[in-house]
Amino acid sequence: MSSTVGQVIKCKAAVAWEAGKPLVIEEVEVAPPQAMEVRIKILFTSLCHTDVYFWEAKGQKPLFPRIFGHEAAGIVESVGEGVTELAPGDHVLPVFTGECKECTHCLSEESNMCSLLRINTDRGEMINDGQSRFSINGQPVYHFLGTSTFSEYTVVHSGCVAKINPQAPLDKVCILSCGFCTGFGATVNVAKPTKGSTVAVFGLGAVGLSAAEGARYAGASRIIGVDLNPKRFEEAKKFGVTEFVNPNDYDRPVQEVIAEMTNGGVDRSVECTGNINAMISAFECVHDGWGVAVLVGVPHKDAVFKTHPVNFLTERTLKGTFYGHYKPRTDLPGVVEMYMNKEIELEKFITHELSFSEINKAFDLMLQGASLRCIIRMDD
């Protein structure tokens, strides 16, 4: 048992003091976990576009100072009262959404939208007492997505922590806690393409390429990648993408182009951009009679989806998904095993690795569109 149990831990964290300004490595105090919480030593974290979006604070209420980060892996340092499924030394993935295992959603096989612990981008404190576990000289520093992994230690609700195989390399499986599962699960768990089918993927960032990896895993015969950036096409071949469409190359809607290429439409499509026009195209490019489109990207708050109702009456299906329809605690350990059994590849998603002191460079790489996933080592 660690001598830090029940004590405040002083450690390094990358603090965002204001919107869009470089993070500052500060010494923070991390309070012990309260009831149903765990304190985790973060070993590896990676940067996801959601961190950048909220750091820029363009589309939502700004909340600073804040510790961002939500895609990570680490080891449990201590547990709070009432935590029975986790113990110090467990290898874990903290997740931005949770599974209390008691609410109507958790008890339903059809949902992963836990009533208690589902994603909340506005909350900057812990659910238990409405307080932050981080402080600098007595000043609270806000949490982000209940995870705040840009810190050597963090406190997370135990329902947002997946215990995984201790043999799994944490510097690889950390990317499962957000982006990979979101895209891969959207294809495999929601779109469910059959072997030999055709799949279109809109948006070839990390989530879209994870969706393409899902189509490859499912045995799709054609995987059509749709993106406005032609530089992404070559890299996408590694993820199973067989053909590319750049909507800017055509003077007609891209759904018409795809329908022409596929004799009436693709069997499945997965939309990973959040652009409302891409969402409509993704739905309208699936084949009548059996086509299924799945929306993954998060749209602008004022966006409205418009399509003719006949598109539904001709037996097309439109679905949405959250976190690839994975229940974090129940399902993530199995995805880790898929990696351990070499059924899925994660290495090809990791384009950069940096030390914790270089974390601002990870933001630069993402803003330039130069990285898929950048792994940040906490022990520099």
- What positions carry a catalytic annotation? 48-50, 70-71, 100, 103, 106, 114, 118, 178, 373
Give the Cα separation of 105 and 14 in Å (integer): 34
| 88 and 77 Cβ atoms separated by less than 8 Å | yes
SS (H, E, C) the chain: CCCCCCCCEEEEEEEECCCCCCCEEEEEEECCCCCCEEEEEEEEEECCHHHHHHHHCCCCCCCCCECCCCEEEEEEEEECCCCCCCCCCCEEEECCCCCCCCCHHHHCCCCCCCCCCCCCCCCCCCCCCCCCCEEECCEEEECCCCCCCCECEEEEEHHHEEECCCCCCHHHHHHHHCHHHHHHHHHHHHHCCCCCCEEEEECCCHHHHHHHHHHHHHCCCEEEEECCCCCHHHHHHHHCCCEEECHHHCCCCHHHHHHHHCCCCECEEEECCCCHHHHHHHHHCECCCCCEEEECCCCCCCCCCCCCCHHHHCCCEEEECCHHHCCHHHHHHHHHHHHHCCCCCCHHHEEEEEEHHHHHHHHHHHHCCCCCEEEEECCC
Residues 6 or more apart whose CB falls under 8 angstroms from that of 246 comprise 226, 227, 228, 230, 233
